[in-house]
Homo-oligomer: A and B are copies of this chain.
Amino acid sequence: MKIDYRREGELVLKNQIDIQLSTNRKEKPSFSNLKFGKTYTDHMFIMDYSREKGWYDPRIVPYQPITLDPAATIFHYGQTIFEGLKAYLSENEEVFLFRPDENIKRLNRSSVRMCIPEVDEELALEALKKLVAIDRDWVPNMEGMSLYIRPFIISTEPNLDVTPSQNYRFMIIMSPVGSFYKEGMDPVKIAVESDYVRAVRGGTGNAKTAGNYAGAMLVQEKASASGYSQVLWLDGNEKKYIEEVGSMNVFFKINGEVVTPELSGSILEGITRKSVIELLKYWGVPVSERRISIDELHEAYQKGQLEEAFGSGTAAVISPIGELFWNNEKMLINDGKTGDLSLKVYKTLTGIQTDKEEDPFGWRVKVD
């Protein structure tokens, strides 16, 4: 840790996180009945940035509203990025994070794309762990549940000129979340989107930034109205190659081989995706990252070779896909049931996350 600047005449360690505990703890909600992302814990992490000081004043404070100038550039030009990861409680009542270093690295990659200054990785990891430790009784102690952690950075300078902000705020907030699979794994129906586009090479698709999500809402709403839980995006250039699903990467088991779209620059580099690939390789299951067109997928389906399909992401971990709707045709996958491989991947990943299974990869990080 570096001694870095003076605050009120005092020497301050740059990486020292100030802690101000809440004196007014909230009542915990009933964990068995949680809606995603509506309840927040007692504390949050904040750190500010200015051109002169760099990132400064890392601190944990009671969860509270923030105050900004209405001209802050976040409200106008959307310079912002975020991350999403989870803390899990084991049967021994220990708390674990899953590959948090990967989230912090991706946070910084997103920031570079959006002209936001990077954060110190070590400090960010320490902030994550400290915050979770302080609010550890918010990690639900029920099967399948977890504490969702949302680090994010917003640009705060009041300035209507379209130019990178001089000031930023890095925050971490947390929200306990219920199980995705209360009544067992239920494969989802997904609609292939052929008109609208989420992202294009040369755009911001591989950064976890607000605009990608705002642009997708209209399409998501249309899909929901037709009974589909999410959309499968095609590439923005030719509307031919498969990209990803709403907030998941996507995998297909075709004739014994697992295929997932390669990192083309327009999809998010999912940490669950990466873990699935590493796990499959570890098991000796053939897996490849490559371009895959919707036509190829349809052909495999017609030949009876499309054996399984699933999405991968922090929220659901693995989400089996039971039906794909494309070109007025419903492609039923594995009779609409969860495939064996999908289930095995799901069980192994959640097992590693919750300390039920061995972790040969060193993915689990304990919070003390």
Contacts and interface: CB of A to CB of B under 8 A. Distances in A.
A214 B175 CA distance: 27
A241 interface: no
Interface string A184-228: 000000000001111111111000011111111110110000000
Contacts of A268: none
Nearest to A64: B70
A82 interface: yes
A245 to B, nearest CB: 12
Contacts of A38: 158-161
B78 A214 contact: yes
Interface in A132-175: 148, 150, 152, 154, 158-164, 171, 173, 175
Given A236-B236, A236-B237, A164 B204 contact: no
A172 to B, nearest CB: 9
A215 B82 CA distance: 15
Contact of A163 (B113, B148, B215, B220): B220
A311 B236 CA distance: 27
Contacts of A159: 37-38
Interface string A46-84: 000000000000000001111111110011111110100
Contacts of A211: 78, 204, 209-212, 214-215
Interface in A100-128: 113-115
B214 A80 contact: yes
Contacts of A217: 77, 79, 114-115, 162-164
B74 A213 contact: no
A65 B67 contact: yes
Contacts of A158: 38, 40
Given A173-B71, A204-B211, A214-B209, A78 B76 contact: no
B68 A37 contact: no
Given A37-B160, A114-B214, A164-B221, 5 more contacts: A40-B158, A63-B70, A71-B175, A76-B80, A210-B214
